[in-house]
Amino acid sequence: MFNKEDISQIESRGSSAASAQAQVELFKKGFPWMKILAPATPGKGICVLDDEEAAKAAEYYENAEIAGKCKFVPASGAASRMFKDLFSGLEKLNGGEDVAPGSPAAEFVAAIERFAFYDESLFGKPEDTAECRRKILSRTLTSEGLDYGSRPKGVLKFHKYKDGEVRTAFAEHLVEAQNYMRNADGSANIVVTISPEHRELFEAAYAAVRDEYEKRYGVKYNITFTYQDKATDTIAVDMENKPFRTEDGRLLFRPAGHGALIYNLNNLKEELVSIKNIDNVANERFLPVTAKYKKVLMGKALELRDRIFGYLRELDAVTGDKLMTQVYPNIPGVNAIGADEAYQSDACQLLCNDIENFLLNELCIQMPPADDCKTRVIRLREKLNRPVRVCGMVKNQGEPGGGPFIIAEKDGSTSLQILEGAQINKADIQAAAALAAATHFNPVDIVCCLHNYKGESFDLLKHVDNEAGFISSKSYQGRELKALELPGLWNGSMSDWNTLFVEVPLETFNPVKVVLDLLRPAHQSE
């Protein structure tokens, strides 16, 4: 399948011919559908907190011991999809046609003065002429002006304040971080995943505000820019599932989606990580509610962490784990190391009952029956000793995004999962009914705990469901091809995690998927 030149090309990317071959086989056999049992809903998979419960969760975060924390912001890629409709309009105008009244391009031009990046010296005053529309679109999208069509979202000007201050999406993340991710010493750690070609743009955007923000908010920023590893790119195939080749005969590789960022997340040393997309920001007047519920999510994650750690330590105590005798030498009963009697004891089985009830009632994990007491303990330990994530869920308002579901796992248990539409078999009556009954969706507002109960970092790559990827249709220079998406960061890459869904207010979710979203109240000054 691969010649010497192919193998050299593959290996130069940090991958292997065997890995590329395995990817081609995935195109041929496809991915299995998830077996959906029900949507996660309030009271059955989604935790809805009252004001008192939310306040207690936020307080828990403020007082918890944490081995480092950071804000993780996926910000790779250009904003081309954000301006897709504008590019279509510009193409028409350049071809001598006008855009249709009421079209996204026409609406954008009519409202140009309301955007934070508007500059009269560049755009002029909007007029109801085709030439004015062409000029405004061109000066927004191309190097004739702002060149926003080829720049990353993070460095675009999103918000303009009454005092004249203009902020990029990246700048708003800095403002957020100093509020709810501040360390005891006044610093804030932020990790931003970017494309290598955009590094200078991000560094310039950071340099433009760093000194001012550190002085204004009394914070010291620790910024790390990381790249999506080229080795995680996946091979493309043609419609016959043969390796796709460019006009010069070389193999074509494509970025494998946000699932590749699990490698970046795996490199973090901090225990508590808050994940939020680069385009999900709002005017600073929304920060109080945003910060409040970020602290709520972090508090719930730490509560879940501590309860799981407690169960694991109790299991070690009643079963006589050798490692625990070293860490906790004075715990009664640990001298009966490895004795089957320990697994069969009343204390152990009562603890297992408690753990199973916790897993079912709190995390929607129903455990399959075990053949013997020792197997039961081993399975429960494996379920507990995993990374933790708490995901904010908002009521579904028709926005695109993954939804929360209860699914059946391969090991006979059940679990909470975030599924994208491509992972749901619409022809399956039960899956289609669950999709129709879903009430919430995931706005990518996630908090993770990445250390185990012994203080070690989990190897996150061991908790990925490699069968949770999907195949998408793309094109290259007009030729159709198939692309392979790795298990998404909050889908398959985190499927083997302990998961809790918590409802958060819709006000905390303000994504900018298309440029006209910037006209929504959350992105405008009062």
The count of other CB atoms within 10 Å of the CB of residue 337 is 12
Q: What does the pLDDT look like over 489-508, one tens digit per residue?
A: 888 899 999 999 999 999 99
**Mean pLDDT score across all residues of the chain:** 91
Last residue of one domain, picked from the residues 383, 416, 439 = 383
**201 and 326, same structural domain?**
no
Domain boundaries, position 352: 307-383
Best CA proximity match to 425, nearest among 30, 26, 25, 23: 30
Same structural domain, 425 and 498: yes
Same domain, 50 and 199: yes
pLDDT at 401: 57
Q: Is residue 408 part of a domain?
A: yes
Annotate 485-522 with b (16+ C-beta within 10 A) or e (fewer): bbbbbbbbbbbbbbbbbbbbeeebbbbbeebbebeeeb
Task: Identify whether 13 is part of a domain.
Answer: no
Q: What is the pLDDT of residues 366-414, one digit of tens each?
A: 999 998 998 999 999 999 999 999 999 999 876 555 689 999 999 999 9
- The yes-or-no verdict on residue 448 having pLDDT over 50 is yes
Residue 343 lies in a domain: yes
How far apart are alpha carbons 274 and 286 in whole angstroms?
A: 18
Statement to judge: residues 515 and 423 lie in one domain: yes
* Residue 23 within any structural domain of the chain: no
pLDDT digits (tens, 9 = 90+) for 107-157: 999 999 999 999 999 999 999 999 999 999 999 999 999 999 999 999 999
Q: Are residues 213 and 224 both part of a single domain?
A: yes
Alpha-carbon distance 307 to 361, whole Å? 14
Q: Which of 330, 361, 383 is the last residue of a domain?
A: 383
Whether residue 25 lies inside any domain: the answer is: no
Same domain (yes/no): 390, 445: yes
- pLDDT tier at 229, thresholds 50, 70, 90: confident
95 in the same domain as 66: no
**What is the per-residue pLDDT for 402?**
67
Judge if 376 and 327 occupy the same domain.
yes
Domain holding 413: CATH number?
Answer: 3.90.550.10
Asked, for residue 207, whether it belongs to a domain, the answer is: yes
Residues 211 and 255 in one domain: yes
Rounded to the nearest 5°, which phi and psi values hold at 305?
-55, -50
Least reliable range by pLDDT among 70-79, 410-419, 445-454:
70-79
What per-residue confidence (pLDDT) applies to 32?
86
Q: Are residues 372 and 485 in the same domain?
A: no
pLDDT attached to residue 390: 98
Does residue 266 have a pLDDT over 80? yes
Percent of the chain whose predicted confidence (pLDDT) is above 90? 76
The CA angle 35-41-44, to the nearest 5 degrees, is 85
H or E segment to which residue 405 belongs: strand 403-408
Identify the domain boundary among 316, 349, 383. 383
Structural domain includes residue 1: no
513 shares a domain with 422: yes
The model's pLDDT over 304-317, given as tens digits with 9 standing for 90+, comes to 999 999 999 999 99
Domain total of the chain? 3
Query: Strands (DSSP E) along 277-402, which ranges?
Result: 388-395
Same domain, 257 and 352: no
